[in-house]
Amino acid sequence: MISVSNDNGFVITILDKSVNINNADILRDDIKKTVSASSAKEIAIDLVNVDFLDSSAIAMLVKLVQSLAGSKKKMSIINVAPIIRNTIKTLNLTKFLNIM
C-alpha cells in the first residue's frame, strides 16, 4: 500500500514494512498510476516504513526510474534504512537510484 502527500513536494510513502516478490509488482503498478496522474516532475519515494527489500523490490525501483525517464520525471528515494542503503551500494546502484 502507498500514501501520497503533496505537502513538501510529491511524496509517495510505501506503507509496507517489507517489499518483496509478493507485493513489488502491485506497489509498482500503484506508484506508476499515481505518478502518471500527477503533473509533478520530481517524485520522492519514501521508504520510512520499509525495513526490507528483496531483489524483486530493487528491480521494481529500477524499473520505475526507467519508466519515468521517458516522461522526463525524476525519482528520488528518501528515508532509506541503513541496511537497504548498504545493499543498494553493494549492488552499485547508487548512481542509478537517487538516494537522498
CA distances from 28 to 1, 15, 59 (A): 10, 13, 10
Q: Which CATH number fits the domain 2-99, given the four candidates 3.30.750.24, 3.40.109.10, 3.40.50.300, 3.60.15.10?
A: 3.30.750.24
Mean pLDDT by 10 residues, the chain (100 residues): 82 94 93 88 94 93 87 90 94 90
DSSP of the chain, one letter per residue?
Answer: -EEEE-TTSEEEEE--SEE-TTTHHHHHHHHHHHHHT---SEEEEE-TT--EE-HHHHHHHHHHHHHHHTTT-EEEEES--HHHHHHHHHTT-TTTSEE-
